[in-house]
Chains A and B, each alone.
Chain A
Amino acid sequence: MPTERDRPPQTRWNHPGLTLCLGAIMGAAALIGGEPVVGLALFAWFGLCAGAVAVATARSEWFRETFEADERWSVADMRAGRLAAVAMLTVLVAGLVYELARGHTLDPVATLALAAGGLTYTGAQVILSRRL
């Protein structure tokens, strides 16, 4: 029977590393878009967040264990993700309705996000309902 031990090991650098990568991507995007100051500011902000997480993980047992990947963490992660998705969808739908009411056309990124969300949900339901 597979156990939690079979998962790839998660080090304390996973979260800071991911945050830093995200900052680098956003910073590079801003740089390409001709906004070097915004790019640097974004990278610095994400770097600061990554550093804070790294320090907190090293110094706080509570913080370290909170982000230790096991099944309880996975459940919390899944519920947090669901709440975040609901919040994002609410803002997106409300924003689109507001923009429509003002006589504006739909924002392409927001429309794409809604379409991607809807398709992902439908696809996941179909696949998961067959697998589970």
Chain B
Amino acid sequence: MVNDVRQLRAKRGLSQGQLALELGVSRQTINSIENDRYTPTLNLAITIARFFDKPVEEVFHANGTG
């Protein structure tokens, strides 16, 4: 699973820590998601997508589906 969280966060001008605070998770979790080391639960994925006003499938992509 790959994602556009890093780009979306950068567009908003947020640090990883600020985004983590907004989503109620740790900064390390945001870092792991951005580096594709951790696939978030559906709950967190939806929360992230809603935060960026995007559908989940525009933020998270199964490998090979761009």
- A contacts, CB < 8 Å to B: 1-5, 65-66, 68, 70-73, 75
Query: What's the least CB distance linking B46 to chain A, in Å?
Result: 7
Asked if residues B38 and A4 are in contact (CB atoms below 8 Å), the reply is no
A-B contacts at CB below 8 angstroms, number = 39
Apart from the given pairs A3-B24, A5-B24, A73-B26, 16 other A-B contacts in the complex at a CB distance below 8 Å:
A1-B43, A2-B43, A3-B47, A4-B25, A4-B44, A65-B28, A66-B28, A68-B26, A68-B28, A70-B26, A71-B29, A71-B41, A71-B44, A72-B32, A72-B40, A73-B29
Q: How far is the CA of A3 from the CA of B44 in the complex (A)?
A: 8
Query: What's the least CB distance linking A24 to chain B, in Å?
Result: 30
User: Which residue in chain A gives the minimum CB-CB distance to B29?
Assistant: A72
Question: What residues of B have a CB within 8 angstroms of the CB of A5 in the complex?
Answer: 24
Asked if residues A71 and B40 are in contact (CB atoms below 8 Å), the reply is yes
Question: What residues of B have a CB within 8 angstroms of the CB of A73 in the complex?
Answer: 26, 29
Which of A2, A3, A65, A75 is close to B26, meaning CB atoms less than 8 Å apart?
A: A65
Query: What's the least CB distance linking A70 to chain B, in Å?
Result: 4
Question: What residues of A have a CB within 8 angstroms of the CB of B26 in the complex?
Answer: 65, 68, 70, 72-73
Question: What residues of A have a CB within 8 angstroms of the CB of B9 in the complex?
Answer: none
Cβ proximity bits B21-49 to A, threshold 8 Å, 1 near / 0 not: 00111111100100000101101101100
Q: How far is the CA of A1 from the CA of B1 in the complex (A)?
A: 23
Asked if residues B28 and A72 are in contact (CB atoms below 8 Å), the reply is yes
Question: What residues of B have a CB within 8 angstroms of the CB of A1 in the complex?
Answer: 43, 46-47
Question: What residues of B have a CB within 8 angstroms of the CB of A68 in the complex?
Answer: 26, 28
Asked if residues B38 and A72 are in contact (CB atoms below 8 Å), the reply is yes
A-B contact pairs, 15 of them (CB 8 A): A1-B46, A3-B23, A3-B47, A65-B26, A66-B28, A70-B24, A70-B25, A70-B26, A70-B29, A71-B29, A71-B40, A71-B41, A71-B43, A72-B29, A73-B26
